């Protein structure tokens, strides 16, 4: 096994969210309080107790692909291609000037093309197999994202898709960083993509009462760490970063947002939906990421919390942070209060925000914190951005199945 010898830079950011697109749109949406959560228009919510979500209503695929591609690709693949191109443009990287065999694609998604599959199943039940689009078989698996990106960009390096629940995007970025650190790739486009807003997929989460029912006030429904939180708010979204060998990035004069310093992943091995009460594995995950980054808890200036706005998970994460940080109290916020919870894409979207904290010298807030929960005794950046110069940030992603992933970024 090769040991890590290469430093890893973040040189490009692409994002799609219900509060804004691109690195600036996502940042402004989270720091300026842009409303993103609305009553669902995509399908009939009549059977469900939850009727709100973070819909992306202004996505125009023709900005990012030709008409033939737009017709061929489902929304999941369209999001993937658009966000990858956005990140690549932002990075200024010319793929014609690099070895394409050393450019990889790592993408995570909890549900992949399930919304398109549901749509086609409806057509099948109504009109039979001849009504089903021939692209169904190659659209529903998670690899439809990473493979379509690779084909469009002409990259021949490692291509990996994962479906590790809400930790998918963070795991894709962490594993991609390890690939570059080992010297097995020069560039990797890595992140998460999620398009879960279909009636059956949405209904499945409503059925287990995991989502907020604050339908009359969608804008304040996602309220991480608030005493009156009542569940998460589902969203669609995407976040893809360009990760690059730091030395190569410097040689080409790239803008470097941050360095990926450390990554850790663990499993609670406890419940498919609830965190371990002792928080030992989620806190250990944070320790592993900090150990990999060769930094102490005292060096972490900001934690981007998973902060899903569910009663058990927020309290459990607060406990994990307290265990991992000891006497140190870094600033903490959950930006899901703005862009809601895009499942497997959430961790990547949050790392896209984390990477910007260094040059913006500001921390994005946890909005909708009206009644702070005593169980969540943290230094929360509440409701408004906080001016701060930090050198190390840690991002948490904790998902169904007890899958934990943490990534540490540093200023360069």
Question: In whole angstroms, what is the distance from residue 259 CA to residue 316 CA?
Answer: 28
Phi (first) and psi of residue 181, to 5 degrees: -60, -35
Phi-psi region of 253 (alpha: psi -120 to 50; beta: other; left: phi over 0): left
Catalytic residue status for 166:
yes
Return contacts of 114-123, CB within 8 angstroms, 24+ apart: 114/140, 114/196, 114/198, 114/201, 115/74, 115/75, 115/76, 115/195, 115/196, 115/197, 115/198, 115/201, 116/74, 116/75, 116/76, 116/140, 118/198, 118/199, 118/200, 118/201, 119/198
Domain covering 262-410 assigned CATH 3.40.47.10 in the classification: yes
- Give me the residue spans of the domains in the chain: 8-251, 262-410
Write down the catalytic residue from 18, 50, 166, 195.
166
List the structure tokens of 86: 């956005």
Fold matches, 8-251 and 262-410: yes
* Active-site position among 30, 50, 285, 306: 306
Q: Which of 341, 354, 376, 406 is catalytic?
A: 341
The tokens describing 177, both together, are 């960083």
Pick the CATH number of 8-251 from 3.40.47.10, 3.40.1480.10, 3.30.450.40, 3.40.50.2000: 3.40.47.10
What does the pLDDT profile of the chain (412 residues) look like in tens digits? Answer: 466 689 999 999 999 999 999 999 999 999 999 999 999 999 999 999 999 999 999 999 999 999 999 999 999 999 999 999 999 999 999 999 999 999 999 999 999 999 999 999 999 999 999 999 999 999 998 899 999 999 999 999 999 999 999 999 999 999 999 999 999 999 999 999 999 999 999 999 999 999 999 999 999 999 999 999 999 999 999 999 999 999 999 999 999 999 999 999 999 999 999 999 999 999 999 999 999 999 999 999 999 999 999 999 999 999 999 999 999 999 999 999 999 999 999 999 999 999 999 999 999 999 999 999 999 999 999 999 999 999 999 999 999 999 999 999 999 9
Is 21 annotated in the active site? no
If DSSP codes are grouped into helix, strand and coil, which group holds residue 203? helix
Decide if 341 is catalytic.
yes
């Amino acid at each position: 096994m090769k040991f890590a010898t290469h430093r890893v830079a973040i040189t490009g950011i692409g994002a799609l969210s219900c509060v804004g697109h691109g690195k600036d749109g996502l940042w402004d949406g989270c720091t300026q309080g842009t409303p993103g959560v609305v009553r669902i228009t995509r399908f009939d919510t009549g059977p469900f107790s939850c009727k709100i979500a973070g819909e992306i209503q202004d996505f125009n695929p023709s900005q990012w692909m030709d008409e033939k591609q737009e017709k061929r690709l489902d929304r999941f693949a369209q999001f993937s291609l658009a966000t990858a191109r956005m990140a690549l443009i932002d990075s200024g990287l010319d793929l014609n000037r690099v070895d394409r065999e050393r450019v990889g694609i790592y993408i995570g998604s909890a549900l992949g093309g399930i919304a398109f599959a549901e749509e086609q199943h409806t057509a099948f039940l109504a009109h039979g197999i001849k009504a089903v689009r021939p692209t169904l078989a190659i659209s529903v698996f998670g690899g439809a994202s990473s493979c379509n990106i690779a084909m469009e960009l002409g990259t021949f390096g490692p291509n990996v898709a994962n479906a590790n629940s809400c930790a998918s995007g963070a795991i894709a970025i962490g594993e991609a960083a390890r690939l570059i650190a080992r010297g097995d790739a020069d560039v990797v486009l890595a992140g998460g993509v999620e398009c879960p807003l279909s009636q059956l997929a949405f209904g499945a989460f409503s059925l287990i009462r995991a989502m907020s029912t604050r339908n009359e006030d969608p804008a304040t429904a996602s309220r991480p760490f608030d005493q009156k939180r009542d569940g998460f708010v589902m969203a669609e979204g995407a976040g893809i970063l360009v990760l690059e060998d730091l030395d190569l990035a410097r040689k080409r004069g790239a803008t470097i947002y941050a360095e990926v310093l450390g990554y850790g992943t663990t499993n609670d091995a406890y419940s498919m939906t609830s965190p371990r009460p002792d928080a030992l594995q989620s806190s250990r995950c944070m320790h592993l990421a900090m150990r990999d980054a060769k930094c102490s808890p005292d060096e972490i200036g900001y934690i981007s919390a998973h902060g899903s706005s569910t009663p058990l998970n927020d309290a459990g994460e607060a406990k994990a942070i307290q265990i991992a940080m000891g006497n140190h109290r870094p600033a903490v916020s959950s930006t899901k209060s703005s862009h809601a919870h895009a499942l497997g894409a959430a961790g990547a979207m949050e790392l896209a925000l984390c990477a910007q904290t260094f040059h913006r010298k500001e921390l994005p807030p946890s909005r909708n914190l009206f009644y702070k929960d005593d169980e969540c005794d943290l230094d929360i950046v509440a409701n408004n951005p906080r001016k701060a110069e930090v050198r190390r940030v840690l991002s948490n992603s904790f998902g169904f199945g007890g899958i934990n992933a943490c990534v540490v970024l540093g200023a360069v």
